[in-house]
Structure 1
Amino acid sequence: MEVIILKIFSRALLFSFLLSFGIIVGCTTPQEPKQHEGTTEAIQQEDLISSYPNTVFYEIFVRAFYDSTGDGIGDINGMTSKLDYLQDLGVEGIWLMPIHPSPSYHGYDVTDYYDVHPEYGTMEDFKTFMEEAHKRDIKVIIDLVVNHSSIEHPYFQDAITSEDSSYRDWYIWADEEANLRERGEWGQPFWHGEAPNNYFSVFWGGMPDFNFYNPEVRQEMINIGRYWLEEVGVDGFRLDAAKHIFPKDKDQNLVWWKEFRSAMEAVNPDVFLVGEVWDLPQVAGPYLEDGLHSTFNFDLAEEILRATRSERAGSLVPKLIRSLQTFERYASDFVDSTFITNHDMNRVMSELRGNTDQAKIAASLLLTLPGSPFIYYGEEIGMEGAKPDEHIREPMLWYENGGDGQTAWIKPKHNIGTEAPSVEAQLEDPNSLLNHYKTMIYLRRSQPALLFGDIVESNVKEQGALTYIRTHNDEELHVFHNLSKGELEISLGELAGNVIFTSTTEYSLTDGMLKLPAYSTIILATN
């Protein structure tokens, strides 16, 4: 694969760069660049636009990522040793799945909110990780699970022993009016345990919900947040189950997140709070009004996969525009956190049945659409994974034939045999999915219109193509993706502009007719 910059967009004073693995793209920097005509020159990472939180994030499951001790379990020091890899990839933010002590492999049932899991290392290890990440201008947000604790948390263990426990009112208990057969939105039971200790849990019996009507609970969660910001130095939180805090009182959910945001911003005005509100934009939108800074765009994730699988644009762009307009009604400075799949969903490559060409197009969509993209570890090398959850969280594959640091926390069902992907192999292959991700991340972080711009529907339509316009100030970039396995001929009509990026040298643009090869992308500066 070759990626080539053909001409310079004079208004933006674009210049081109050659990545170390031989891929050429066009870019801009926030400084005053020199103007060039059809030339290339190296770009350094320090020339990329730094725009946190409007940037690219990388989600890590610590247990699966990199093992520094040889016990088969990923750990904090292992992550620290791979910060250079993440910096080279171009990410500016890391989201860590739960790192607190927990009896479960996934960590979403916490037993101590003020420490790290002993299998992952020590608090000093984590502070070193934070220091090293910040040296590389990488911010870190951690999963904060405030909706519920572990059934083994000392608070719950105390509460269940006696109705007179000082922690009794920290949880939700059935009274005589409770419907113990009540079920939730996906058919799960709400009530667990036995009388007189039937307790409420939205998810499962091992994770009893906190009672947020109790001001002591709310204050403790604020204290926990303050601790991680002040004492440990994290940059924000991914807030699990954000819409379930008051399971039967949506308005109180909104009040709580405003209270939490105010308390966190008093500690760090630049704190970033992104919430899991797995619902329609109309439901997620109100959480952005002086509450969460961002929510994950689950609708867009579904649309990216649907368009890529079907090789048809469908309604992706108009639906996204409507979603963004909904969010805009509640907050002008919201951040739309975008992704393709995450730790709760089948992996991208499994959804695409192993089709690397489609995986590249999915990445191109994610990284040229608006928002702050989140990449799930291993997505960039095409790791596969399907439910149950353990097998969408399999060990990250660093080497072709195993090696120091490879985790073994679970025996994989996917990503095995000679065809399994690896970082080692793909770094050496200029046509690899990994190098495609790197190219697209560098492209994004070099173009203000891709980082900050609005999205507008394009009048240029063609079956099998997905097109849109990204606008920022006086810049206008027209993005064309060929989603299909065949070459497309796209009539541009009166549209004219300079090619600033293409993922292939096999295209042609003559007399208003664009010939775009299968599974490729081209971007024109059209003003």
Structure 2
Amino acid sequence: MKLGRYGLCGLVGLLTVMLIASGCSWRGGGEPQHQTLSGTWIIAEDVNDPSARSESNVYYEIFVRAFADSDGDGIGDLRGVVNMLDYLNDGDPETTEDLGVSGIWLMPIHPSPSYHGYDVTDYRSIHPDYGTLEDFQVLIEEAHKRGMKVIMDLVVNHTSSEHPWFLEAAMDPSSPYRDWYVWRDEEDSPIAVSAAGGPAWHRSPGGGADYLGVFWSGMPDLNFDHAAVRREMIDIGKFWLELGVDGFRLDAAKHIYEDLSGDEKNPALQERNLAWWKEFREALQEVNPDVYLVGEVWDSSPARVAPYFQVFDSAFNFTVGELAISAAAREEDSNLAFTLERMHGAYDTASGGGFIDAPFLTNHDQNRVMSNLRGDLNHAKMAASILLTLPGRPFVYYGEEIGMQGVKPDEEIREPMKWADEEGGTSAAGEGVPSLAGIPVSAYAEAMTRWRMPRHQADTPSVLAQQSDPASLLHHYRALIQLRSRLPVLVSGTILQLDLEPAQLMAYERRDGADRVLVVHNLGGSEAEAILKPDAAGTAYERLVAASSSDVEVSSGEEGQLHLKLPPYSTAVVR
């Protein structure tokens, strides 16, 4: 049996876990009253006070091309996103039919020759497939009305090879844009490997010197040693902030300056990257002092990620997804909470206490969660339960909440959102979906499949089908996000791991000042029981405040003990 680190979390009692049933149900007489959240989740009535609710702090990632089509041309667009905002957050905290997210992140929406948009040809315009600047302003206004922030992808590391700047620079060595990019004579430097694993240098379409493109030949790197480049990228950021954007997701944030020898530990290189991002942030704060910046710093080392919290509010936490999915798939604790304890210590020091963690399960560059979990609904629910009870600002990739599947290549992890089945457009009960803005859902389904016929969604129940099923993954996500808004300690509190036996149990304490709750997940397919004893000061967990099932049972034992019984694949929160 493993002993918990109770010196860290203020508990000294041994949590004994047995696969036996005892105690009385939460539903029993004399127990606190509870209310139902979305689906099967329940919450204690006395912690469900509408006046005490806060934001969930959950953000939702949208690939506009694949999300919702408003005009029937088969391509998702900004007006389509506007039509679906009530699905994400209807602005009314009393309703439970929306996800309740606090913000949305739009993948690139600029003109681009690619379907994905990470190779930009015009930084101050909207891709014509998606609409206009006026459409974008409507989206911002409507999102803000519902209490949602809007952040957008900003790709400053490189442009498209079809950007007018690059085309002029490549064809005319005397062009003022020549120094906006990085060039070499072939004999002057050795072959270097790019961030994507291929060659970093590419033959110029104008002949002569090669140009640097650390991701792909279609994405030539900008030269941030050139003051004009830095000024232009700052002006672009200000342009979007003045239109009402609340912040940016910063693509390839650690690749602004690249060590072509492959030495990612080069401290001088990191200092140059940080110096640029500090200059960028300080300039943007002239327009919006509260601008939110979340960086893509894809690195397995917390020590190399931590310094970026000097300039970013958040950096995506790739480790969380790996550990949460592993725990759900293997049905055993992965020491995720203990890993986060150490990470957050480093991030707290680097940021001076001002960091916001940005955990997620998977994103647009990774195989989808449900595919990683081989279509197992119970495992997908447990992965969600872990993610959405962690501190910080969790990000949910569109379609994750309904279990969309997909494995690389990239196009197949970015398939159209499955709002409805292709035929009929209604659930088995014949119920419509008010959140679809009065447009028949069948029209959405048919239009989006004209852009790209999904290859992975045959077994994915649609949004419409899941809305009428309380046990669906969609309802599970809705309930978890609602729970965060009703228990603010889940958003802002620290995290401390408790070690339990058997390994199918994962537990961590969330504490914010005097408020503390214990989250316990039963990741396995068998029932489990825990006995929680008071700590040395006599403080004890006393009652259940939320659970994913009404079959979770609690009872009081001797000497202030709390007995907790968890059915398979369930979560309980005790206070």
Flag whether TM exceeds 0.5 (same fold). yes
Q: Is residue 415 of structure 2 the alignment partner of residue 410 of structure 1?
A: no
1:458 aligns with 2:470: no
Aligned residues of 1:464 and 1:483 also touching (Cα < 8 A): yes
Match of 1:342 in 2: 363
Partner Cα separation in structure 2 for residue 518 and residue 185 of structure 1: 43
1:237 aligns with 2:248: yes
- Residues 324-352 of structure 1: per-residue CA shift (max 9 Å, x gap): 11111111111111100000000000000
SS where residue 329 of structure 1 aligns? helix
- Cα deviation, residue 177, structure 1: 5.4
2:283 match: secondary structure: helix
1:95 aligned residue:
105
Please state how far the C-alpha of 1:6 moved relative to its aligned partner. 6.5
The superposition leaves residues 362-382 of structure 1 with CA deviations (integer Å, 9 ceiling, x where unpaired) of 100001111210000000000
Residues 453-481 of structure 1 deviation map (CA, whole Å, 9 limit, x = unaligned):
01112254432100010001111101100
Shift of residue 119, structure 1, vs aligned partner:
0.5
Which secondary structure state, in structure 1, belongs to the residue aligned with residue 422 of structure 2? Answer: coil
Whole-Å Cα distance in 1 between the matches of residues 304 and 335 of structure 2?
20
1:372 alignment partner, SS class? coil
Q: 1:49 aligns with which of 54, 65, 71?
A: 54
* CA apart distance, 1:179: 3.3
Q: CA deviation at 1:251?
A: 1.3
Q: Does 1:330 align with 2:375?
A: no
Q: Indicate whether 1:380 and 2:401 are aligned.
A: yes
- Match of 2:496, SS state, is strand
Aligned twin of 1:31: none
- Residue 259 of structure 1, aligned match among 259, 273, 279: 279
- 1:133 correspondence with 2:154: no
Secondary structure of the residue aligned to 1:63 is helix
Measure, in 1, the Cα distance between the counterparts of 2:455 and 2:104: 27
1:503 correspondence with 2:574: no
Q: CA deviation at 1:496?
A: 3.5
Alignment identity in percent?
Answer: 50
Contact residue 85 and residue 143 of structure 2 kept, 8 A:
yes
**1:75 touches 1:120 (CA, 8 Å); kept in 2?**
yes
**CA–CA distance in structure 1, aligned partners of residues 276 and 33 of structure 2:** 47
Q: How far, CA to CA, are the matches of 1:186 and 1:227 in structure 2?
A: 31
Cα RMSD of the aligned pairs, angstroms, is 2.1
Shift of 1:22: 6.9
1:356 to 365, 369, 377: 377
Pairing 1:74-473 to 2, within 5 Å after superposition: 74-87=76-89, 88-175=98-185, 178-179=188-189, 181-194=191-204, 195-230=207-242, 232-248=243-259, 249-279=269-299, 280-289=301-310, 291-331=311-351, 332-402=353-423, 403-406=442-445, 407-408=448-449, 409-416=451-458, 419-458=459-498, 460-473=500-513
Alpha-carbon distance in structure 1 between the residues aligned to 2:122 and 2:240: 13
Task: Give the unaligned 5+ runs of structure 2.
Answer: 1-24, 90-97, 260-268, 424-441, 535-539
Highest CA radius of gyration, 1 or 2? 2
| 1:68 matched to 2:118 | no
Contact 2:42/2:547, CA 8 A, preserved across alignment? no
Q: Secondary structure at the match of 1:335?
A: coil
| Equivalent residue pairs, number | 497
CA change 1:457–1:362 in 2 (3 A) is same
- Structure 1 residue matching 2:394: 3-state secondary structure: strand
CA distance in 2, matches of 1:76, 1:505: 40
Distance in 2 (alpha carbons) for counterparts of 1:202 and 1:172: 11
Residue identity matched to 1:281: P
**2:196 and 2:214 in contact (8 A); partners too:** no
SS at 2:183's partner residue? coil
Aligned counterparts of 2:43 and 2:27: Cα–Cα separation in 1 = 9
Whichever residue aligns with residue 404 of structure 1, its letter is A
Q: Is the 8 A contact 2:520 2:571 kept in 1?
A: yes
Shift of 1:153: 0.2
**Is residue 478 of structure 1 aligned with residue 482 of structure 2?**
no
Change (3 A) 1:515 1:460: same
* CA distance in 2 between partners of 1:15 and 1:447 (Å): 17
SS in 2 for 1:490: strand
Q: 1:138–1:330: structure 2 CA closer, same or farther, 3 Å change rule? A: same
Shift in CA distance, 447/411, structure 1 to aligned 2, threshold 3 Å: same
SS in 1 for 2:385: helix
Q: C-alpha distance in 1, partners of 2:554/2:284?
A: 52
Query: SS in structure 1 opposite 2:171?
Result: coil
C-alpha separation in 2, matches of 1:241 and 1:404: 36
Task: Quote the residue 2:43 is aligned against.
Answer: 25
Q: Distance between the aligned counterparts of 1:475 and 1:15, measured in 2?
A: 21
Structure 1 consecutive aligned stretches of length 4 or more whose deviation exceeds 6 Å = 4-7
Greater relative CO, 1 or 2 (CA 8 Å, sep 6+)? 2
Shift in alpha-carbon separation, 1:226–1:5, aligned structure 2, 3 A:
farther
Cα deviation code 1:28-55 (max 9, x no counterpart): xxxxxxx58xxxx8x76x863137xxx0
Letter aligned with residue 172 of structure 1 = V
TM-score between both structures, scaled by the size of structure 1: 0.90
Show structure 1 runs of 5+ residues with no match: 28-34
Tell me how far apart the structure 1 counterparts of residues 26 and 174 of structure 2 sit (CA, whole Å): 71
Task: For residue 284 of structure 1, report the CA deviation from its aligned partner.
Answer: 1.1
Which AA in structure 1 matches 2:284?
A: M
